Amino acid sequence: MAQTACWTLLTLMTVSSFAPGALSQQTCSDKLLSIKGGHFTLSRDFELGTLLAYKCQDGYYSPVQSRRCLFSGRWKPLPKRGLQCKKVRCPDPSVFKHGNVLPPLGRYYVNDTTTYECFSDYKLYGSATRVCKANGKWSGRTPICSRNTDHCPDPGVPAGARRDGHIFNIGDKVTYRCEDGLMRVGSKERTCKESGDWTGNEPECHFDYTFDTPGEVSEAFGSALKNSLKQADEESPNQQQGKKIHLDKGGNINIFIAIDASDSIDKDHIQKSIDITKNLIEKISYYDVTPNYDIMFFATKVTPVVDIKNYYIGNPKSLADVITDLDKFNFDDNGDDSGTNLGAAFTNILEHMSFIKARKPEQFLNSSHVIIMFTDGESNMGQDPKRPVSQIKDFVYGNKKEQRMEKLDIYMFGLGQDVERELLTEYVTDNAGKHVFLMEDLDQLHQVFDEMIDESSNVGLCGLHRDYSYGHKETASKYRQQQPWLAEISVRHVEGSPSSCLGSLVTPRFILTAAHCFKFGDTSDRITVTIEDGKTKDHEVRIHIPHPDYNILAKKDKGIPAFFDFDVALIELKEDVAISATARPICIPCTKETSGALKLTGADVKCKDHERLLLNNEYEDAYIMSPKREKKFIKIKLGNARDACIEDAKKAKDMTATDAKEIVTENFLCTGGIAPVTDHVACKGDSGGALFTDKSHRTVQVGVVSWGVEDICKGQTLVLSREHTRDYHINLFKVQPFLKKHLGNLTAKYAPLTFLE
Ligand X SMILES: *[C@@H]1O[C@H](CO)[C@@H](O)[C@H](O)[C@H]1NC(C)=O
| Marked catalytic residue, from 294, 533, 567, 679 | 567
User: Which window, 120-128, 360-368, 622-630, 669-677, contacts ligand X (CB under 6 A)?
Assistant: 360-368
Report the C-alpha gap between 374 and 448 in whole angstroms.
13
Least Å from the CB of residue 395 to ligand X = 17
Whether 567 is catalytic is: yes
Number of residues that bind ligand X (CB under 6 A): 15
Among 28, 35, 110, 438, binds ligand X (CB under 6 A): 110
The nearest distance, CB 366 to ligand X, in angstroms, is 4
Residue 342 has φ and ψ, to the nearest 5°, of -60, -40
Q: Of 59, 126, 153, 627, which one interacts with ligand X (CB under 6 A)?
A: 59
Q: Of 58 and 495, which has the nearer Cβ to ligand X?
A: 58
Active site residue 516: yes
Instruction: Please choose, from the candidates 317, 318, 314, 312, the residue with its C-alpha nearest in 3D space to the C-alpha of residue 354.
Output: 312
Shortest approach of ligand X to residue 544 CB, angstroms?
13
Q: Which stretch binds ligand X (CB under 6 A): 7-15, 290-298, 359-367, 584-592?
A: 359-367
Contact stretch for ligand X (CB under 6 A) within 94-102, 226-234, 663-671, 738-746: 738-746
Residue placing its CB nearer to ligand X in the complex, 310 or 363: 363
Q: Are 299 and 261 in contact (CB under 8 A)?
A: yes
3-state SS assignment for residue 733: helix
Q: Residue 525 gets which letter from DSSP?
A: G
| Part in contact with ligand X (CB under 6 A); list of ranges 416-424, 529-537, 590-598, 737-745 | 737-745
Q: If binding is defined by CB under 6 A, does position 362 make contact with ligand X?
A: yes
Closer CB to ligand X, 553 or 748, in the complex? 748
629 with 604: CB under 8 angstroms? no
Stretch of 295-303, 597-605, 666-674, 739-747 lying at the interface with ligand X (CB under 6 A): 739-747
Q: How far is the CB of 110 from ligand X (least distance, A)?
A: 4
Stretch that binds ligand X, among 40-48, 216-224, 272-280, 362-370 (CB under 6 A): 362-370
Q: Give yes or no for residue 741 binding ligand X (CB under 6 A).
A: yes
Nearer to ligand X, 56 or 625 (CB): 56
SS3 of residue 259 by DSSP? strand
Residue with Cβ nearer ligand X (84 or 745): 745
Closer CB to ligand X, residue 84 or residue 111? Answer: 111
From residue 35, give the alpha-carbon distance in Å to each of 61, 136, 270, 464, 466.
11, 20, 30, 45, 40
Q: Which of 604, 611, 571 shows the shortest CA–CA distance to 590?
A: 611
Q: Minimum distance from CB of 487 to ligand X (Å)?
A: 20
The distance of closest approach from Cβ of residue 420 to ligand X in the complex, given in angstroms and rounded to an integer, is: 28
What is the signed CA dihedral for 21, 23, 27, 28, rounded to 10 degrees?
160
Given the rule CB under 6 A, which of 436-444, 657-665, 706-714, 744-752 is the region that contacts ligand X? 744-752
Candidate list 687, 706, 727, 742, residue with the active-site label: 687
Stretch that binds ligand X, among 22-30, 63-71, 619-627, 741-749 (CB under 6 A): 741-749
Whether the CB-CB separation of 638 and 625 falls below 8 Å is answered with no
- Interaction pattern, residues 82-101, with ligand X; x per rule: CB under 6 A: -----x--------------
The minimum distance between CB 749 and ligand X, in angstroms, equals: 6
748 binds ligand X (CB under 6 A): yes
> In this complex, which beta carbon is closest to ligand X, that of residue 14 or of residue 111?
111
Residue among 249 and 628 whose Cβ is closer to ligand X: 249
| Contacts to ligand X from residues 240-279, by CB under 6 A | 248, 250
- Give the number of other CB atoms < 10 A from CB of residue 250: 9
Selecting among 446, 516, 544, 729, the annotated active-site residue is 516
Residue 260 three-state SS? strand
- Decide whether 506 or 691 has the Cβ nearer to ligand X: 506
Burial class for 183, CB neighbours closer than 10 Å (0-12, 13-18, 19+): middle
* Cβ 507 to ligand X shortest distance, Å: 13
d(CA 203, CA 755): 43
CB 610, CB 589: distance < 8 Å: yes
Residue 155 Cβ, how far from ligand X at the closest point, in Å? 31
User: Quick check: helix, strand or coil at residue 680?
Assistant: strand
Burial 373-404 (b: 16+ CB within 10 A, else e): bbbbbbbbbbbebbebbebbbebbbeeeeeee
Q: What is the C-alpha to C-alpha distance for residues 387 and 427, in angstroms, rounded to an integer?
A: 10
3-state percent breakdown (helix, strand, coil) of the chain, nearest 5 = 25, 25, 50
- How many residues are given for the chain? 757
Q: Least distance in Å: CB of 331 to ligand X?
A: 36
Bridge partner residues of 115 (DSSP): 102, 129
d(CA 104, CA 93): 9
C-alpha 74/C-alpha 66 separation (Å) is: 13
Angle (deg, nearest 10), helices 267-284 and 319-328: 180
Q: Which residue's CB comes closest to ligand X?
A: 250
Residue 601 binds ligand X (CB under 6 A): no
Minimum CB separation of residue 362 from ligand X in Å reads 4
Binding map of ligand X across residues 307-346, x = CB under 6 A, - = no contact: ----------------------------------------
Of 59 and 627, CB closest to ligand X: 59
Minimum CB distance to ligand X, residue 114 (Å): 15
Determine whether 477 is an active site residue: no
Task: Identify which of residues 232 and 494 has a Cβ nearer to ligand X in the complex.
Answer: 232
Q: Is residue 363 a contact residue for ligand X (CB under 6 A)? A: yes
366 lies in the site for ligand X, by CB under 6 A: yes
Nearer to ligand X, 273 or 367 (CB): 367
Q: Among residues 52 and 110, whose Cβ is nearest to ligand X?
A: 110
Contacts of ligand X in 168-207 (CB under 6 A): none
Closest CA to 672 of 609, 750, 726, 742: 726
Q: Which phi and psi (to 5°) does residue 68 adopt?
A: -115, 135
199: phi then psi, degrees, rounded to nearest 5 = -70, 165
In the complex, least distance from residue 134 CB atom to ligand X, rounded to whole angstroms: 6
Asked if residue 745 binds ligand X (CB under 6 A), the reply is yes
In b/e form, how buried is each residue of 623-646, taking b as 16+ CB within 10 angstroms? bbbbbeeeebebbbbbeebbeebb
Of the CA atoms within 13 Å of residue 261, those in its CB half-sphere come to: 33
Stretch that binds ligand X, among 376-384, 461-469, 630-638, 745-753 (CB under 6 A): 745-753
- Local structure of 694: helix, strand or coil: strand
DSSP 8-state assignment for residue 140: S
Residue 689 to residue 685: CA distance in whole angstroms: 9
Task: List, in sequence order, every residue forming a beta bridge with 75; answer none if it has no partner.
Answer: 69
Largest CA distance in the chain: 97
Rg (the chain; Cα; Å): 30
3-state secondary structure 416-436: CCCCCHHHHHHHCCCCCCCCE
Q: Which residue ranges make up the site for ligand X (CB under 6 A)?
A: 59, 87, 110-111, 248, 250, 362-363, 366, 741-742, 745, 747-749
Catalytically annotated residues? 516, 567, 687
